[in-house]
Structure formats: structure tokens, C-alpha cells
Amino acid sequence: MKNPSNKTASHEINRRRFLHLTAAAVAAPAIIGKAPAASAKQAFAGEELSVMVWSGNYEDAFRTAIVSPFNEKFGTKATTLGGWDQIVSTIKAAPADDPPFDVTVMEEMAAASGVSENLFAKTDLSKIKNLSAVQPWYFSTRAKEYDGYGVPFGLGFELPLMNTDQTGHLPLSWKTLWDPSLVGKLALDGSSFFYLLAATALAHGAKPGLGELYDWRPGMTPDPLFQKIEELRPAKWYHDGAELSFVMMQDQAAFAQIYSSDAFGLLRDGGPSFKAGIPDDGTVAYGEWYVKVRGTKHDELSDVFLDYILEKETQDRFLAITMSVVSRRDVTIPPHWKGYPVTNDDLARRINLIPIEGWKELQSRYGDFDARFKEALLKTSKG
């Protein structure tokens, strides 16, 4: 299989498509955002809207920075629901004309399943006036067949986190996981192995991007990714954010593989000695697109919401209390965010998105990956 993360093969085609989509959004006589605030508030006053987001810290931030101000602006009664990998199955289980929520977040696997099974509704992108402010990279990494299914709000990804009181001047890099001084001082995700494999490929892979990850096959010799993981000696293979927070705050671990949804809280609670950000060797990410769910009774308000989450003020508020990356190119970068990818070139150079086609390929061999990871995990517990 060719590397699904190829960043150049279809870049020009997708860039032209982005320019076409955004030109339509600018030129069309869209109603959204054109009406005076008072009349818009009157039009939607009291209307309900249910939005599915990632649960946990992300939901708290989304409710504070986005949903509450949206309700204040439009007089609506929007609410959030929190979930992860059960989002698609929840929609499938509900009647097509009575969805469990109106708008949902989706990453690449949810997008593939939702579109192929007709679980999502398209949006007329001419109604999304803020689309023209989005970095073109978000469209250059997405297949044409998904045009119209939602808007790109931003990215989630994995990050290295270090407690500099323990690590000293070690670099914020995935390669630091293998530093001899951190034996027995690592906190690693024991439940979602694809991201650790991706970080290993970025740190030690001989192929560009995530080439080693896509090319892995069971029984291959040599087996560079898993052999490097077998060299690690973590203090903890954690399975949720609470475990991760405990081992870091109790100084049981000095360096961790974390996710952006947990990063802001850990930086806040850990104080100035805690450091996190996108390292020079890059990182792996998943998309955070928001899309209408089939059968929503609040179609027009859903489109208003999709445009609202792309406003500069909205994304600035969210960025100020998270370690997420948001999709606009003109946002204000808060002081806590080190190494934020400001430009389109930054995104292309430092963010490795596992695209929809890549996830399909990896999931087709999930059982083989899982068995090999469990074997490697056992070896990491040996002295």
C-alpha cells in the first residue's frame, strides 16, 4: 500500500477545490451572519440544539467557550453531550427522522462510517461565510467525496509532556522517550497503541512521515517499530486521563505521552515545571470536524452553529483554555501554547494526520496490531 499520509500527491487538486469552496462561500448571498443580531436572536429564541463533542475536559471547554456564548448571542438552548467511539453507533441505533443529537464532532473513522452509511447531512457551504478564513491544509488532507459534510473546527493530537524538575534540559521530543535517564519514569497510553506507534515512527522511522506504521505486517523481520517499543520501561501504562494525571502529579513519571484534550489541565495543575507542545519531530493528529446529523429538526440553526464555530472570536476563546489547534489562520495564540502551527506550511510540515484511507487500512489489520502490541507490552515490564 502506498503511504496514505502522502502530503504532496494531491495537494494542488485539493487546494483548487478549497479555493472553489471558499469562493462560493464568499460570493453567495448567504443569510447566515447577514441579518442583524437582534433579528437573528429573535428568529432562534428558545430553539434547542444538541451538540455531541468529545467527553471530559474537551466538553467542559467547548461548553464554556462556545455553547454558552452561542446561547447568549442567539437566545437558544443549545446543550452538549459527551462521547467518543460510540458516536456513530448511537446515531445508527436511532430512527433516521429522530436523531439523538443535531450536530456531532467527527474524526476520520467516524467520517468514513457516517458518510458511507448516510448518517450525516450535507451543509450548503455557501452559507458558511467564515469558511474562507480556514487554513487550506484541512481540505488538502480530505478526500473530495466528503465535501459538504461538515466544517473543520480544528485538530486533536498526541503530545509529549515533561516535568522539567525531573527531566532537566532534555529536549521536548519523541526521541526523549528512549533517553536512558527516563527508564522507569514514563507514562504511556496502554489502550490506544496506534498513536504510540506513530510517535515511534516519527522518532526512529527511516521512511518519511508514518511510512513504517502503514507498512507494518505481522511476522516481519526486522520489526523496527515494535522492537523500539520493547526497549521502553514505563512507570505506568495508563488507561485514562485520571491515571495519567495521578502518576504525573505524584512524580511517579517524568515524561508522558498525552493527548491535547488533557494537556491544558495538566499544564495548569503541574505549574511552570510542566512543559508540553508539538515537538520539532512533529506529531500525529486526528481531525475535529463538525457535521449535521441526518434527520435533525434544527437544520437552519445547525448551519448557524457550524458557521459560528469558525468565527475568530469563538476560536480565540476555545484556544485560550485548551491545547487544541483550531482551523482559522488568524487566531490569537495564547502564551501557554508553545510550538503552535501558525501557517499552512507549519501544518503540512509538523502535523501527520492519519487520513480516512489510512485508518481504513490500519483497522483492517487491527487484530494483528493488537496481538503484537500486547506481546511488546509484556516485554516492557522486564528489567
Query: Cβ contacts of residue 2 below 8 Å, gap of 6+?
Result: none
Cβ–Cβ under 8 Å, residues 292 and 299:
yes
Q: How confident is the model at residue 383 (pLDDT cuts 50, 70, 90)?
A: low
Cβ–Cβ under 8 Å, residues 257 and 160:
yes
Q: Which of 285, 355, 255, 295 is nearest to 97 (CA)?
A: 295
DSSP letter at 143?
-
| Domain boundaries defined on the chain | 11-155+284-353, 158-283+356-380
Mean pLDDT of 308-313: 98
Does the domain formed by 158-283+356-380 have CATH 3.40.190.10?
A: yes
Mean pLDDT of 4-10: 39
Cell of 136: 487550506
Cell of 93: 441505533
Q: Is it the case that residue 10 has pLDDT exceeding 50?
A: no
Q: Is it the case that residue 5 has pLDDT exceeding 80?
A: no
What is the model's pLDDT at position 382? 61
User: 31-45, 164-178, 271-285, 305-319 — which is least confidently predicted?
Assistant: 31-45
pLDDT digits (tens, 9 = 90+) for 196-253: 999 999 999 878 889 899 999 999 999 999 999 999 999 999 998 889 999 999 999 9
Cβ–Cβ under 8 Å, residues 4 and 126:
no
Does the domain formed by 11-155+284-353 have CATH 3.40.190.10?
A: yes
DSSP letter at 297?
S
